[in-house]
């Protein structure tokens, strides 16, 4: 197992913490989803590095990165994309393959929009991307449920062991591979001076991030993406119904599509080997000089 180097960099006035696995050539940046952190990408990163250089930041308000003081800076997901772009510039990363899961998929689209000269390819794993619904919640009530659940989520335990025992039994974490869950318990909780442990991503922060799902729209950006895009579907999605996947696919200029059988929305945490293999095949295809043009890039 390759242990990552851990560091931080200041972007847009916030300290952004990240992990880096050594390698050569064009870097791969892994962007986690809401309430998670960069550490959960560990097995995927280890499968890619070496030979590839892999980095996984904790996004604003998550993990060991700073939380902005203004609620609007958590609600507006475009700020996350600006952070990604600033991260690439701060570390002078070029020819990047940007990989985003869930909310991280939407953040990554914004990242490409703000740093198109730094990104050579984009991978979206069951991303939280849907067109605006003029009648309200584009996710059919899922967002309000997620916000309410986050607000009432338990975030404090007497010990790390008790936290692990309770969290492992929850539907959100039940399907995760054991080593990924262990990484989450190790890195997503902080030790308090009173001996207890608490989630680094507070219920208030998580609720605000979820609330942003309905407020930001990357839909108009899809036809403008000039880079190849791998759209990764999962068998048991909770966000990307088949007709939405089709709509995203046909809006892209250079789309590629793959479905992971037997896994759900948290594919990188449930089946990191399958995700890593999909990434390896996509990168090898690009390096062979093939540019998919099945989509029409229509608006």
pLDDT tens per residue, range 220-269: 999 999 999 999 999 998 777 777 888 899 999 999 999 999 999 999 99
Give the pLDDT of residue 181.
Answer: 98
111 assigned to some structural domain: yes
Whole-number pLDDT of residue 131:
76
DSSP secondary structure letters along 172-213: HHHTS-HHHHHHHHHHHEEE-TTS-EEESS-HHHHHHHHHGG
DSSP 8-state symbol, 94: -
Given this model, what pLDDT does residue 299 score?
47
Reference 102, options 234, 259, 265; nearest CA is 265
The Cα 161–Cα 52 span in angstroms is 35
Tell me the pLDDT band of 101, cut-offs 50, 70 and 90: very high
280 within some domain? yes
Query: If you average pLDDT over residues 183-191, what whole number do you get?
Result: 97
What's the rounded Cα separation, in Å, for the pair 46 and 272? 10
Is pLDDT larger for residue 140 or for residue 166? 166
What is the reported pLDDT for 114?
97
Q: Residue 39 is encoded by which pair of tokens?
A: 């550490």
The first and second tokens of residue 204, run together, are: 């208030």
Percent of the chain residues past pLDDT 90, beyond the cut: 77
What's the CA gap between 241 and 250, in Å, rounded? 15
Q: Is the dihedral of CA 295, 142, 56, 17 positive or negative?
A: positive
Residue 272: inside a domain, yes or no?
yes
Per-residue pLDDT at 107: 98
Of the listed ranges 120-124, 128-132, 273-277, 289-293, the one predicted with least confidence = 289-293
Nearest CA among 272, 275, 239 for reference residue 258: 275
- Which secondary structure element, helix H or strand E, spans residue 112, and what is its range? helix 103-114
Residue 142 has pLDDT above 80, yes or no: no
Looking at every residue in the chain, the average pLDDT score rounds to: 92
Confidence label for 133 from pLDDT (cuts 50, 70 and 90): low
CB 102 within 8 A of CB 33: yes
Confidence of residue 292 (pLDDT cuts 50, 70, 90): low
**What is the pLDDT, as a whole number, of residue 11?**
98
Separation of alpha carbons 222 and 220, rounded Å: 6
In a domain, 210, yes or no: no
CA dist 105 and 229 (Å) reads 11
> For the chain, how many structural domains are there in total?
1
pTM reported for the whole predicted model: 0.94
* Owning domain of residue 249: 5-140+219-287
- Answer positive or negative: Cα dihedral of 85, 87, 91, 93: negative
Let me know if residue 283 belongs to a domain: yes
C-alpha–C-alpha distance, residues 110 and 48, integer Å:
24
* Rg value, the chain, Cα: 18
Mean pLDDT is highest, among 100-104, 241-245, 283-287, for 100-104
On whether residue 213 sits in a domain, the answer given is no
CATH number of the domain at 124, please. 3.40.50.1820
Q: Would residue 251 count as lying in a domain? A: yes
Q: Lowest-pLDDT range, 62-76, 90-104, 140-154?
A: 140-154
Q: Which structure tokens are listed for 42?
A: 């560990």
């Amino acid at each position: 197992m390759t242990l990552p180097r851990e560091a931080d960099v200041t972007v847009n006035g916030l300290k952004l913490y990240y992990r880096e696995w050594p390698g050569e050539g064009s870097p791969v940046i892994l962007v986690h989803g809401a309430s998670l952190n960069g550490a959960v990408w560990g097995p995927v990163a280890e499968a890619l590095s070496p030979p590839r250089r892999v980095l996984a930041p904790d996004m604003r308000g998550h993990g060991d990165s700073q939380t902005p003081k203004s609620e609007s800076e958590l609600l507006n997901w475009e700020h996350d994309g600006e952070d990604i772009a600033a991260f690439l510039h701060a570390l002078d990363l070029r020819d990047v393959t940007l990989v985003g899961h869930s909310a991280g998929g939407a953040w990554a689209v914004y990242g490409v929009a703000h740093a198109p000269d730094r990104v050579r390819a984009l991978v979206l794993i069951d991303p939280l991307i849907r067109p605006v619904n003029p009648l309200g919640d584009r996710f059919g009530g899922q967002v309000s449920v997620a916000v309410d659940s986050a607000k009432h989520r338990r975030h404090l335990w007497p010990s790390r062991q008790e936290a692990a025992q309770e969290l492992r039994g929850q539907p959100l974490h039940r399907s995760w591979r054991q080593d990924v869950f262990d990484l989450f318990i190790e890195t997503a909780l902080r030790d308090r001076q009173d001996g207890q442990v608490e989630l680094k991503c507070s219920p208030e922060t998580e609720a605000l991030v979820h609330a942003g799902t309905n407020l930001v729209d990357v839909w108009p950006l899809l036809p403008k993406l000039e880079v190849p895009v791998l759209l990764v579907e999962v068998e048991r999605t909770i966000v990307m119904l088949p007709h939405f996947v089709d709509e995203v696919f046909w809006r892209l200029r250079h789309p590629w599509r793959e479905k992971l059988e037997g896994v759900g929305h948290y594919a990188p945490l449930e089946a990191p080997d399958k995700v890593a293999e999909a990434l390896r095949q996509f990168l090898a295809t690009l390096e062979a000089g093939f540019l998919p043009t099945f989509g029409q890039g229509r608006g």
